[in-house]
Amino acid sequence: MHREGSRAKGLLRFALVAALVVAGAAIAAALLAEDEFSGDSRGAQIERFELASKLLDQPLSQTIVRPAGGSEGRPLLVFLHGRGGEPDSSLSDELFVALRDLGDRAPAIAFVNGGDHSYYHDRDDGPWGRYVIEEALPAALRHTGADPRRIAIGGVSMGGFGALDLAREHPDRFCAVGGHSPALWQTAGETPDGAFDDADDFASHDVMAAAATPDALGSEPIWLDGGDDDPFRSSTDTTAATLRASGHDVRVRHWPGGHGSDYWNARMPVYLHFYTNALARCGR
């Protein structure tokens, strides 16, 4: 039984967040954008393909990871990269070790291309949200043969916001949703250039405000986390509290670290454990 919740008050309005994100764009790109992974995939298969998006009128590279043993009939995790990143940004030794350790329970993973700063939502330069749901997701299912009834979505930074926003728009589509250091702001004035078109665009995709509505992000488990030194820690905690107050099943975690790939890669085994358990229970 859901309880009506009010939007949590007293969010520390850190005006420096936007400045940090904008000023550090080049640093973020360096942290997130990586060359194609050339390490040991521990038996997993990596496939890269180009999706000719009709909605966005451009080709976009995508990356698929099939766990050892193949991906046919497996659950699927859709994972969204951060601003300045690319589909291969989250490929790491930690990821492939975790997939190996999960064995037959490991999901197939689709790393979806979100461009430089789409924030994975429909906006003036294209329907990026529709592209994920109507083009990238079906393409991932075709390439993996994964079970279309068992899909989770998550992401880092920009992708963490995108995962939460897409779950808001499609509350019955996913078995779990995760925001890892999600880029969340309370007001349009706090956002960096390029994140949203304008105040109206922000209001249409205000995840923090939507969190106060029961079942706004669906009834499945939600994961939120971030580093102790992450500039989005306060907004993450506020969003988690609001989700709980509105009856959502949400877990929030913090570990030492900042806002970058070193933090996310180190936590990838924990993330995959959450998604795998949620996907195993999905539909039961």
- Asked, for residue 23, whether it belongs to a domain, the answer is yes
Which DSSP category does 134 fall into?
I
pLDDT for residue 257:
96
AA letter at 229: D
Mean pLDDT of 66-71: 96
pLDDT for residue 34:
39
pLDDT for residue 22:
36
Which DSSP category does 188 fall into?
G
Q: How many structural domains are present in the chain?
A: 1
- Asked, for residue 37, whether it belongs to a domain, the answer is yes
- Asked, for residue 10, whether it belongs to a domain, the answer is no
Picking from 3, 14, 72, the residue whose alpha carbon sits closest to that of residue 214 is 3
- Asked, for residue 68, whether it belongs to a domain, the answer is yes
Picking from 90, 109, 94, 93, the residue whose alpha carbon sits closest to that of residue 260 is 90
Rounded to whole angstroms, the Cα distance separating 55 from 211 reads 29
Mean pLDDT of 161-177: 96
Mean pLDDT of 72-95: 97
Above pLDDT 70, what percent of the chain?
87
- Asked, for residue 1, whether it belongs to a domain, the answer is no
Above pLDDT 90, what percent of the chain?
83
CATH number, domain of 104, equals 3.40.50.1820
AA letter at 283: G
What is the per-residue pLDDT across 106-153, written as a single tens digit (0 to 9) for each?
A: 999 999 999 999 999 999 999 999 999 999 999 999 999 999 999 999
- Average pLDDT over all residues of the chain: 89
| Whether the predicted pLDDT of 1 surpasses 50 | no
Tokens 């009128």 correspond to 57
pLDDT for residue 19:
36
Mean pLDDT of 178-195: 96
Task: Please give the full DSSP string across 219-251, using - where no structure is assigned.
Answer: SS-EEEEEETT-TTHHHHHHHHHHHHHTT--EE
pLDDT for residue 37:
78
Higher per-residue pLDDT: 34 or 240: 240
Please report which confidence band the pLDDT of residue 99 belongs to, taking 50, 70 and 90 as the band edges.
Answer: very high
pLDDT for residue 197:
97
Residue 214, C-beta contacts closer than 8 angstroms, at least 6 positions apart: 2, 3, 4, 5, 246, 247, 248
- Phi, psi (degrees; rounded to nearest 5) at 155: 180, 170
pLDDT for residue 38:
76
Please report which confidence band the pLDDT of residue 284 belongs to, taking 50, 70 and 90 as the band edges.
Answer: low
Mean pLDDT of 186-190: 95
Strands 250-255 and 222-227: parallel
pLDDT for residue 28:
39
In total, the chain counts a number of residues equal to 284
Q: Which of 18-32, 145-159, 221-235 has the lowest mean pLDDT?
A: 18-32
Rounded to whole angstroms, the Cα distance separating 110 from 79 reads 6
Question: What global pTM score does this model have?
Answer: 0.87
Backbone dihedral region of 253: left (phi > 0), alpha (psi from -120 to 50 degrees) or beta? beta
Please report which confidence band the pLDDT of residue 103 belongs to, taking 50, 70 and 90 as the band edges.
Answer: very high
Structure tokens at 38: 């050339």
Mean pLDDT of 65-87: 97
Picking from 56, 114, 126, the residue whose alpha carbon sits closest to that of residue 80 is 114
Picking from 209, 233, 246, the residue whose alpha carbon sits closest to that of residue 17 is 233
- Asked, for residue 95, whether it belongs to a domain, the answer is yes
Range of the domain at 160: 16-281
pLDDT for residue 39:
81
- Asked, for residue 6, whether it belongs to a domain, the answer is no
Higher per-residue pLDDT: 209 or 25: 209
Tokens 């390029």 correspond to 194
Strands 177-180 and 151-156: parallel
- Asked, for residue 187, whether it belongs to a domain, the answer is yes
